Structures are given as C-alpha cells and as structure tokens.
Amino acid sequence: MTLIISWIGVDDKKDGKETSSIYIASDSRYTWGNAKKFDYGIKVFGSSKHPEIFGFCGDVLFPSTILGQIIPQIDNEILIGPNDGVETKNKRVFEFMKSSLDTYPKDFLANNTFTILHATRFKKEFKLFRTTFGKDKILKNKEVELPKISTKVYSGGSGKAEFDKIWEKWENPKHNNYRTSRAVYHCLSKTLKDIKDPRTGGLPQIVGLYRIENMRLFGIVENAKKYIYGKESSEDINSKSIEWRNEYFERMNPETLKILEGAQRQPS
C-alpha cells in the first residue's frame, strides 16, 4: 500500500511567514499481496509546464492510470489554463478523476482504497488537496491545511504508523532539525531503511514546487549511487538537469557524488 508524505518549507518575509516550497515523496514499492514486489514503481508525478505535482498511495492501477492521463493534459493546457487559480485547477482535476472512476470496472476496486495528493501553486499561493476513495466507495476531495511553519503536512499509507512514530523524534524542540523542511525527508529516509511493513520499501522518490518554475524532480544519492524513482541511474548524459539530494536532503553533485560546492551542510 506504500508510504506517502508531504511537507512544506516556510520563510520569514516582511509581511509575515510565507510558504516557499511544497514536496510530495514516497517509497518506490509496488506489491501484489505480500508475495510479489517491484521496487521501481512511480508514485509521484508532476507537470514540467505548470506548477502541479501529485502522489498516491493504496491501489496502484487506477491512480497511476489516471495521473498518466492528467499530466499530459495539464502540460498541453487541455485540463487547466495558465490563469486558473488553485481552487479552479483542483476542481477540474477532481472532476476528471470522478468521471473516469464512474466508468471504471467496479470489481477492480472491490477491496481497494487509495489516496491521491495534489499540490498546486498560483503566483505565490500554495495549496494541497487530498482525494480519497475509501471503504464507502465514494470519491471525496478535501483541502489539507498548510500551517505557517516548516513541517510535515500529510502522511498516509500502510507505512504511516512507522513513519509517524519515528517523526516524533523530529517534533522535539531540542532536535537540531526541529521545524525544518529537511527534517521530514530525513525521517522518510530513516523510516525506509528500517521499515517492517512488507508493502513499503525501496528508495525514496520526490517531487516539489518552489515559488518559481514548475515541478522539480529530485534524484537521490545513496551509498555513492544515484537513483531516480527508486531505480539506479547510470545515464550521465544530463545528470545536472535535475537536483540531487542525500539522506539529509543536502544538495549533491551528480558527477562527484559529494555535497555540491557551496551547499549548506545540514545537522543530522
């Protein structure tokens, strides 16, 4: 069923605290019961042309299929337009999901549930929405409140209990990374290293939004190797086209596999 989390970074501005970034991250494991697993499954998505990112947990087939349809339609401005506000964009995405689910074979979802996160931005306004399909078999959509502090804003999936337990360590005001956005990713990395839930595993995968530009895809450096969507990356033709991070969310040089020159080291 997986583990999915979302968190925000908040900066101090003249007019008060403002959200400066939002992230959605997950593990990389697809499972078939407890017997079969695949650790290169894509669970986070984003548009390269508009500030829209997504992630899911639970049933794999419907969310991965529907997000595979939504992203190209966002990229080509079929589903949303460049002047649509955050609520309008999410409403159109939700309506697209709902109309698709109405024609989806009900037997395929008989015992399955899922959650889809949608983070979006218009100008400087960030929003996060959660679409759920639960045991009542009704598709629901709700905004997730974003606080004025850098912290986790959502965790879900079968690995949630283990993540939330470990997260208590970072929620301690005495912790070096208390109230920092990097703390959430560090907690995710540690959780996946020690996870007991057989349906959660593999390397982390992450997408994010900043105040400018669109989806940021992050590569992961782990044990002197590079990974994208859980799979080791040996393609070095254009490694610098994305950002690379280690377990402490420090920026990494994809060529040397060391901390990027000038990048700030983070306390563990």
Write down the domain spans for the chain: 3-245
pLDDT in tens, 249-266: 999 999 899 998 765 555
Is 13 a residue whose pLDDT tops 90? no
Residue 262 confidence (pLDDT): 60
pTM of the shown model: 0.94
DSSP string, the chain: --EEEEEEEEEEETTEEEEEEEEEEE---EEETTTEEETT---EEE-SSSSEEEEEEE-SHHHHHHHHHHHHHHHTTSS--TT--HHHHHHHHHHHHHHHHHTS-GGGGTT--EEEEEEEEETTEEEEEEEEE-TT--EEEEEEP--SSSEEEEEEETTHHHHHHHHHHHTSTTSTTTT-HHHHHHHHHHHHHH---TT--S--EEEEEESSSS-EEEEEEETTEEEETTEE----TTGGGSEEE-TT--BB-TTT-SBPTTPPP---
CATH superfamily assigned to domain 3-245: Aminohydrolase, N-terminal nucleophile (Ntn) domain (3.60.20.10)
Is 23 a residue whose pLDDT tops 60? yes
pLDDT in tens, 151-206: 999 999 999 999 999 999 988 888 888 888 889 999 999 999 999 999 999 999 99
Q: What is the mean pLDDT of residues 58-74?
A: 96
pLDDT in tens, 79-126: 999 999 999 999 999 999 999 999 999 888 878 899 999 999 999 999
